[in-house]
Amino acid sequence: MHWADVIANEIAENCEKPLIATGISPTGIIHVGSLREAITGESVRSAVEARGKEVRLIYLIDSFDPLRRRYDFLPPSYEQYVGMPISRIPCPCGKHRNYAHHFVQPFLDAVDSLGVHCEIIWTHELYAQGRFTDCIRTALDKREQVIQILHEVTGKEANPNYAPYNPVCEKCGRFATPKFDTFEFPYIWYECSCGHCGRNDISSGEGKLTWRLEWPAKWKIFGTSAEPFGKDHAAAGGSYDSGKRIVSEIYGGVAPYPIPYEFVQLKGVGQMHKSLGCPVTGLDAINMTPPEVLNYLFLRVLPSRTIDYDSGLGTLDMADEYDRMEVKFFNKDWTEAEENTIRAYEIAQHNHVPSKLPLQIPYRHLVNVVQMAPDFDGVIEVLKRTVDLSEATPEDMDRLRRRVDCVRYWLNGFAPDQVKFSIMPSLPEMIQIDTMEKVFFKELVNRMNDCNWETDVINEIVSGTAKSMPIGSKAGYKALYKIFIGKSAGPRLGSFLASMDKKFVINRLMQASN
Ligand SMILES: [Zn+2]
Ligand SMILES: [Zn+2]
């Protein structure tokens, strides 16, 4: 059985009103791993929904976390904000509400395009609404017990000064150290590194639980049934272990069904984002991988297994595999070993499986075609020369448009040079063409003039002609790439030539043979 089904069965059986929680820390770059979390959460949500349950997926944004340091991608002026909640730090570009929005909003927009049906919840708003007040109060009242639990779970020495809660300093806006013996609900006094001493109202939203206390508080507040999280939190003595005890022994709640997931490893030689110091961000992955393929990629293996995300040629392999599985799914033709992969394809549709096999255009072919046309209409025009689009539905065209956008994004930043080309609008004067090549081109013109302009026919003519002449296949193909794209290799010749206008091809050959 697919892992999402196993988890969904468990949740549907045990939870009255299932709620799946996922989260993200928007302090800087959004990693590809965050995508895994969102997609894992949505797949469980849709699998529970398919069992007839009303289920919610929430996406918690840690917008009240402090800025821990000035990251390399931030201007020097951001030094002054270190230690402040990121919801109160201005956005670096000036276009967003605050720092947290700046980093997470583009990602949220993109996640939406994956069909993730979640409610976005900003943690700083929960604090402002007083949703954490009860938990903060309990954590302060039972601080000794909290310290004991953390000692037992982590194996580290008990820290008598451990602060489960930090007030925001009213003077400098940074998180300050509370004086525990002064706590009398709702007030606690604090001392700040800026020198200010003040009194904080814990119900005012001017303060925050530390991570080990905040996470279980969220479980208690929302009644979370299941939650995917990075394996670092799942380690023995980690925050899931301590959270589990804190939620039951301190807050009086229940820990969610844990879905720890492995990291996503990045492969491929993409362009580095110099300002971010990271090769591929989660946003890049969304922009360059068709959403259905991305969903499938994260669903086809267990969460506990590492995923290699290859932003190079692997991108094409992923799309090819998806398309292959799609055909098998609709032909109901798969082996027992493929059962889980087929189910992964089905879950990747989030309960909206197409009614028939969608139009498939081989992804590699699309990569070539996209480089032959400036825009989507142009792509369609080129495609029509080799593909019958007469039966394409509006859904097919939507998917094609998204795939074209992904291919373009990939070509602009991540595709290896070997797949890139551009058709030269005219034959460069400087180009060297020898007699053997000229004779070959002339003969091609003769044979192509009256042929049907189809991939197979062209293939036969090109290979047959080259083989039968002194130039031979290898040099013949090279010569053709040279006069069309100025390179010695390129896309498969048959479909490449067939994708161009016949007149254009013949004109170029005639020009080159003179
Ligand atoms: Zn911004
Ligand atoms: Zn201060």
DSSP structure string for 345-374:
HHHTTTT---SSPPP---HHHHHHHHTT-S
- pLDDT value of position 112: 82
- pLDDT value of position 279: 72
Q: pLDDT grade, residue 276 (50/70/90)?
A: low
- pLDDT value of position 277: 56
List beta partners, residue 166: 208
Place of tokens 């032909």: 331
Ligand 2 midpoint to CA 190 (Å): 9
- pLDDT value of position 265: 84
- pLDDT value of position 372: 97
**Three-class secondary structure of residue 330 per DSSP:** helix
Ligand 1 midpoint to CA 213 (Å): 30
Ligand 1 midpoint to CA 30 (Å): 14
Nearest to 55 by CA among 346, 257, 305, 212: 257
Nearest to 199 by CA among 189, 208, 191: 189
Enter the tokens of residue 445.
């013109």
- pLDDT value of position 273: 60
Residue 181 has a CB neighbour count (10 Å cut-off) of: 8
Ligand 1 midpoint to CA 88 (Å): 13
- Contact criterion met (CB below 8 Å) for 328 and 283: no
pLDDT in tens, 19-28: 999 998 887 7
Higher pLDDT, 394 or 30: 394
* Average pLDDT rounded to a whole number, residues 386-396: 95
Question: Under CATH, what is the fold of the domain 435-513?
Answer: Arc Repressor Mutant, subunit A (1.10.10)
Helix runs in 361-434, H state only: 363-370, 376-383, 394-413
pLDDT above 70 covers what percent of the chain? 98
Identify which ligand lies nearest to the alpha carbon of 106.
Answer: 1
Beta-strand pair 187-191/165-167: unpaired
CA-CA distance, 366 to 383, in Å (whole number)?
A: 8
pLDDT in tens, 287-337: 999 989 999 999 999 999 999 888 889 999 999 999 999 999 999 999 999
Query: Cis bond leading into 186, ω under 30°?
Result: yes
Q: Examine the pLDDT at 258 and tell me if it is beyond 70.
A: yes
Identify which ligand lies nearest to the alpha carbon of 95.
Answer: 1
- pLDDT value of position 148: 98
- Contact criterion met (CB below 8 Å) for 411 and 367: yes
Supply the angle between the helices 472-485 and 502-513 in degrees, to the nearest 10.
Answer: 110
Enter the tokens of residue 135.
């938990």
Q: pLDDT grade, residue 271 (50/70/90)?
A: low
Nearest to 280 by CA among 270, 288, 289: 270
Nearest-5° Cα angle at 412, 409 to 415: 90
- pLDDT value of position 275: 53
Task: Output the pTM of the full model.
Answer: 0.88
Identify which ligand lies nearest to the alpha carbon of 104.
Answer: 1
Identify which ligand lies nearest to the alpha carbon of 193.
Answer: 2
Q: pLDDT grade, residue 268 (50/70/90)?
A: low
CA-CA distance, 415 to 372, in Å (whole number)?
A: 16
Average per-residue pLDDT for the chain: 94
* Average pLDDT rounded to a whole number, residues 50-74: 94
CA-CA distance, 118 to 18, in Å (whole number)?
A: 13
Beta-strand pair 264-267/307-310: parallel
- pLDDT value of position 107: 84
Alpha-carbon radius of gyration of the chain = 29
Place of tokens 């170029």: 508
- pLDDT value of position 282: 86
- Contact criterion met (CB below 8 Å) for 163 and 150: no
Ligand 2 midpoint to CA 94 (Å): 25
Higher pLDDT, 312 or 167: 167
For residue 307, report the phi and psi dihedrals to the nearest 5 degrees: -115, 130
Q: Examine the pLDDT at 114 and tell me if it is beyond 90.
A: no
91: amino acid identity, one letter: C
Beta-strand pair 197-201/187-191: antiparallel
Place of tokens 């080799």: 386
- pLDDT value of position 264: 87
Nearest to 412 by CA among 271, 283, 266, 268: 271
pLDDT in tens, 394-430: 999 999 999 999 999 999 988 999 999 999 999 999 9
Q: pLDDT grade, residue 106 (50/70/90)?
A: confident
Q: Examine the pLDDT at 392 and tell me if it is beyond 70.
A: yes
- Out of 29-38, 282-291, 335-344, 358-367, least confident range: 29-38
Higher pLDDT, 134 or 264: 134
* Average pLDDT rounded to a whole number, residues 113-129: 92
Question: Under CATH, what is the fold of the domain 1-129+262-349?
Answer: Rossmann fold (3.40.50)
- pLDDT value of position 25: 85
Ligand 2 midpoint to CA 89 (Å): 15
Stated as kind and residue range, the H or E segment containing 441 is helix 435-448
Identify which ligand lies nearest to the alpha carbon of 172.
Answer: 2
Q: What is the 3-state secondary structure (H, E, C) of 479-509?
A: HHHHHHHCCCCCCCHHHHHHCCCHHHHHHHH
Ligand 2 midpoint to CA 198 (Å): 9
CA-CA distance, 391 to 138, in Å (whole number)?
A: 63
Domain boundaries, the chain: 1-129+262-349, 165-209, 358-419, 435-513
374: amino acid identity, one letter: P
Ligand 2 midpoint to CA 330 (Å): 63
Identify which ligand lies nearest to the alpha carbon of 174.
Answer: 2
Q: pLDDT grade, residue 278 (50/70/90)?
A: low
318: amino acid identity, one letter: M
* Average pLDDT rounded to a whole number, residues 133-146: 98
Place of tokens 């030539």: 497
- Contact criterion met (CB below 8 Å) for 203 and 183: no
Question: Under CATH, what is the fold of the domain 165-209?
Answer: SH3 type barrels. (2.30.30)
